[in-house]
Amino acid sequence: MKYIKTLNKTKLTDNISVKGCGECQTSCQSACKTSCTVGNQKCEYDLTQFLRLEGKRN
């Protein structure tokens, strides 16, 4: 594309069948306490799955 550069590699609609584990940080518990922001948080799905598997192995 000559005039458009898409900044993301993934869409919000990608992988919605596996997402939704609820392990990510509660929005207000970060630094704010007065403003809710989620766009700056990280998805913890992959990390949590990894730790669960590690827990089972050990």
Interface with another protein includes 58 (CB under 8 A)?
A: no
Interface with another protein includes 43 (CB under 8 A)?
A: yes
Residues 23, 48 contacting (CB under 8 angstroms): yes
38 to 35, 53, 54, 55: CA distances (angstroms)? 10, 27, 28, 28
Q: Write down the least CB distance from residue 10 to another protein, Å.
A: 5
Interface with another protein includes 4 (CB under 8 A)?
A: yes
Interface residue list for another protein (CB under 8 A): 1-13, 15-16, 19-45, 48, 51-52, 55
